[in-house]
Amino acid sequence: MNKNYLKTNDDDLDRSDDLLKQTLKGIRQEEVPDFPDPPLGPLPSTSLHADGKSVPWSAVRQASAAKSSGWLSRSRLFVIAAAAVVLAALLLWPQSSQSAFAKVQAALEEVRSVSYSVFDYHANGDAWETNVSIVESGLTRSEQIKVGEGTVANGLQISNWNENLRMIVDHKSRKATFYEVSPDEESVARRNRWIEKFRNIPERATQDLGPTTFDGKPVHSFEVLMGEREFKVYVDVETNLPVRMEYMQEETGFREVFSNFVFDGGMDMSQFALEAPEGYTVEHVALEPPPADADLLVVSPTIGIGPVPFGADADSVIEFLGEPAQRRKYAPFSLPGSDQPRQGFEYLKYNSLGLEIGINSEHGITTIRCFSQRRTGPSVHDFAGQTPEGIRIGSTLPEVIAAYGEPDLMNDRVTYLREGWTFSISDDKVEGIEVSEPIHEDIEIIVNDDGSSTQRVRPRD
């Protein structure tokens, strides 16, 4: 890339020293194929206590939710990090709760492995169960199955950080894809002690709900506010380890429950074998390292990317960034009943840069998308560049609002319609950036009953 057009910034965050950010990136990038959403049904009536003994739990999920919009709906993530963040919040209770918390912290410091299940129920009645196993030495396994009639496995992912490999199995296409783990992930994995995951987390609003009983068993309960998600966490009073976490979205009825926790339960290590199922197609993917100056890239609705403005053609992009890893072209088309000319589209994807450029045959560059492995998976690197205001992958939601003000829309994506910014957010962190040209007309935003939005654009007076 031509460095004359790249912005240098000596006070960039030193992400290699931000252990939490890197650790979460290392374990949260697990991704499964897109799944439909769930008939409502009860959860299994038995959960596992931390010591491996069976403990009765009541049916826990009824609920439902509209699918998340944008990238999240297209790329359903495994929830390893969500559990890590909730557990981490246990390390930050207010002073009045320090006695109960100190016991939880001491117990977590001894943990070297964990397995648990996550149950998600959605508006249409579909139910999904994700079973997760993690070993401190560098092994993770996640598998999602559909709950209900004829339980069906959908996606399986296994990572071995010691061998720097990840296997993603898609049962629908009967395909197993092996990815090399990028160097920064490798370094994180080698530093990945359990208690370190739970440190250096910004303080969050929390509440100690005190001792209670759950299905007749004594537990200590807490309330944790993570971004806009409020969890109730139940801790076993004997082991001082979490046994259950619950989240309820009042607006939609969506409910998520973490249960079946087993800490240091003596796992079957054969489940982490990086072996494709018999008869499956096997593909090996090697990810090229990003250019040395990738962190100097700047994207902006008014500038474009580097010296390449919105409206430029594909040749201008390639002249600046080089040949893309993928180049997809779509034949010209027009919407039914439209009097607009037929237009084609082309997408240039740079996996090593975590970047995709969308190009319209009539109008040139129309969108710039910046990815993260946490959201997109191991086929791309994190976008290492930034916006002119210093927002990048991993920036916090408060930093985004401080830079751009109150957004027009805010759910799992923070959108500034007139300015041309969309930031995908999870756990108060930026996971993706989408850039388009600013809109120079007034916009009326209509929020629908299901929480989605409709935009009406009208010329300014």
Give 13-52 pLDDT, tens digit per residue. 232 233 233 333 333 333 333 333 332 223 333 322 223 3
Residue 284: the pLDDT is 87
* Structure confidence by residue, pLDDT tens digits, 305-355: 989 999 999 999 999 999 998 888 877 765 556 666 667 889 999 988 999
What was the pLDDT predicted at 139?
86
Encoded tokens for 156: 């399986």
Q: Which two tokens stand for residue 17?
A: 């020293």
Is there a contact between 244 and 90 (Cβ–Cβ < 8 Å)? Answer: no
| 342 dihedral zone (left: phi>0; alpha: psi -120 to 50; beta) | beta
Low-confidence ranges of the chain (pLDDT < 50): 2-96, 186-205, 450-461
CA–CA dist 376, 220 (Å, integer): 37
What is the pLDDT at residue 335? 56
Beta strands in 309-382 (DSSP E): 326-333, 343-350, 355-360, 364-370
Identify which of 114, 47, 87 has the alpha carbon closest to the alpha carbon of residue 266. Answer: 114
Per DSSP, what are the bridge partners of residue 158?
A: 141, 167
